[in-house]
Amino acid sequence: MGRIIHVELTSADPRRAAEFYCAAFGWQSEASPFADGYLLAATGEGDGIDAAIMSRDHQAQAAIVWLRVDDLEASRTAVVAAGGSVVGEPQEIPGQGWVAYVRDPEGVLLGLRQPG
């Protein structure tokens, strides 16, 4: 469907960034069991989405919006047909589903996730 489900914030120092978001907004973060330099951030109760804070060694764009899709490969094909491009290969996150990055025609990096 393409609904926004997650956002990644990149940082030269993810721990320092996590401390800022905790102090300023009450976010709680923990290390991801799947990737070094990647912190999962719970942003609070109620409506909204959670986030992640990751090292800029993974991606350089300051913020990356993640979209839920029903079919990852069909969505990647649709991105290319609409003038965008795919970035790298899909990866499986155990217990979460499949993920991949794409770029829109303006070069904006987006994440796509197909639930498992």
For the chain, residues with pLDDT lower than 70 are 1
* Whether residues 53 and 76 fall in one domain: no
Asked if residue 46 belongs to a domain, the reply is yes
- Predicted pLDDT at 36: 87
- Predicted pLDDT at 46: 87
- For residue 107, what is the domain's CATH number? 3.10.180.10
DSSP strand pairing (3-11 vs 63-68): antiparallel
d(CA 52, CA 96): 15
Six-digit token string for 64: 């990356």
d(CA 9, CA 108): 14
Domain hosting 113: range is 69-116
- Predicted pLDDT at 107: 94
Range list of H helices, 1-116: 14-25, 72-81
- Predicted pLDDT at 84: 96
Asked if residue 64 belongs to a domain, the reply is no
